[in-house]
Amino acid sequence: MGTALGLVFLWLSLTPSLLPRGPFFQGVVSGAAAAFGYGLGVFLVWLVRYMRSKDTSPPAPRWAWIALLVVGVVGQILMIVYFHVWQDEVRDLNGVPRLGFWDHPLTAVLSIVVLFVLVEIGQLIGRLVRFLTHQINRVAPQRVSAVVTVLLLLALGVALLNGVVVRVGMSTLNKTFAAVNDETDPNFPAPTSPLRSGGPGSLASWESLGHQGRVFVSAGPTVEQLTQFNGRPAMEPIRVYAGLHSADGIKATAALAAEELRRTGGLDRDVVAVATTTGTGWINEAEASALEYMYNGDTAIASMQYSFLPSWLSFLVDKENARQAGQALFEAVDAMIREMPEAQRPKLVVFGESLGSFGGEAPFLALNNLVARTDGALFSGPTFNNTIWADLTRNRDAGSPEWLPIYDKGESVRFVARPDNLDRPDDPWDEPRVVYLQHASDPIAWWNPDLLFEEPDWLKEPRGYDLSGRMQWIPVVTFLQVSADMAVAVDVPDGHGHVYVKDVANGWAAVLQPPGWTSEKTERLRPLLTNDENA
């Protein structure tokens, strides 16, 4: 039973998913799946034996092993062929090279190694169970001993996971990522301009900004680059940032970032943008740079850090911090702008990617509030926890697919996978405007616990442009496959998975319609945008 279920789980791990997978990653996934199936089979045999009050199980007949061998070999060959076919299809859709001949044996070897290691760990746990049961047998009946042993190990496991493991693990992770946060990069030196946080006169020290904060304030187009691109003298863009060490607490950090905006004269710029970061404090450089190019530097971007942890881990343990940070920063900046005479107020926009889009939505709760309080928004790679995005998707216009919905005839918001989607539908698009960039193959957008037992609309409706037609919903399996895809979501070219770079130019152009901006400028800007560091 263990071998049979191990094979079944191994085959399920080779079923179609959203994104291309390399041999190493697929080897880990398949080995872990096979080990889990084997362990489940062994457990079921033990459970049946226990329920029947039997000490042993009859050995499987010889013909059963022969049948399992034949079915296993044939099934494995067929699944390898099927894996090769759908991987080639997905790789073609994503514009990446196909798997080579030697990638398959490498995957097999890695799967066997992972399977062996995990099964050995399971065997050790089994030996521990038998040892403890034998000890308790001295004072209690055998079946009582087995139940007590299992309960003791479960209680110990829960206690360790909730206590020692979590505490030590989170402490280790925080120390590790805090060390990364303190790293400096010679390619991003401290600014010499007073218009950047960490520079002369800054309320936040250079060291306090954290790694991603230092990268953000040091990056971006120069005045010379902006002047050359737009053909007229440019202003130096303002970038302000507050790190975790810049102030004590989220509200204090947000207030500091807002004061930095006032100090640098950011409130006098044509556009003020509030950017919500991902866990590490990362900001999509393409989204920031595109805005600065479009307004020839007459912009000010404010942001802050709320965690050391990478986006996926922060989403699990720091999600509330992202919400509070997004709300606190926007409210602090918005309060300053509303103190100004209405005729002198700058345009106020918000943007963010992934967990940043989640935090960026936090101050508004609903689309009408977002439109009422801002002059536009650009969110890329939203998560299933995004309140506004989830509501709009759920209440989309009839006939529009979940992966690219239309809401209220596109009156205020547009969902975009490729630039031509900005013209969808043909109905008028009022101002202020909101754009969500999302790809059909982005597992961050489509991962949802509901996948466990409910087929999503994005698999039932007409497929997205880079989603394999071979992918079908399988209870539990699809959830696990999409979960695994999240680990490789940024390992694909721009325009697929969780990579949003060049299309942000089209998004910002549609949202803000900058004076004198043309579609020709958008096309010239697209290749200039880069996004080398990921969350």
Q: What is the pLDDT of residues 127-151, one digit of tens each?
A: 877 777 777 777 777 667 767 777 7
Residues 352, 76: Cα–Cα separation, whole Å: 44
Greater pLDDT, 60 or 484? 484
Average pLDDT, integer, range 416-428: 95
Strand order in the sheet with 271-276: 238-242, 299-304, 271-276, 347-353, 377-380, 434-437, 413-416
Residues 187, 77: Cα–Cα separation, whole Å: 49
Residues 143, 139: Cα–Cα separation, whole Å: 12
Question: Is pLDDT above 60 for 534?
Answer: no
Q: What is the distance of C-alpha 287 from the center of its chain?
A: 17
Tell me the pLDDT tens digit for each residue of 235-280. Answer: 999 999 999 888 898 999 999 999 999 999 999 999 999 999 987 8
**pLDDT score for 134:** 73
**pLDDT score for 535:** 40
| Cβ proximity of 210 and 204 under 8 Å | no
Give the tokens for residue 131: 């040892």
Average pLDDT, integer, range 502-523: 96
Tell me the pLDDT tens digit for each residue of 455-489. Answer: 999 999 999 999 999 999 999 999 999 999 998 99
Residues 359, 325: Cα–Cα separation, whole Å: 7
Element (H, E) at 39: helix 23-51
Least confident of 40-54, 138-152, 317-331, 511-525: 138-152
**pLDDT score for 327:** 95
**pLDDT score for 515:** 93
Collapsing DSSP states into helix, strand and coil, what is residue 385?
coil
Least confident of 49-63, 106-120, 177-191, 355-369: 177-191
Give the tokens for residue 211: 């790694």
**pLDDT score for 153:** 73
**pLDDT score for 4:** 92
Confidence of residue 173 (pLDDT cuts 50, 70, 90): low
**pLDDT score for 143:** 64
CB atoms within 10 A of CB 78: 12
Residues 108, 512: Cα–Cα separation, whole Å: 51
Positions of E strands within 402-533: 413-416, 434-437
Tell me the pLDDT tens digit for each residue of 179-229. Answer: 666 667 777 888 999 999 999 999 999 999 988 999 999 999 999 999 999
Least confident of 14-23, 99-108, 405-414: 99-108
CB atoms within 10 A of CB 131: 11
Question: Is pLDDT above 80 for 69?
Answer: yes
Q: Is 252 left (phi over 0), alpha (psi -120 to 50) or beta?
A: alpha
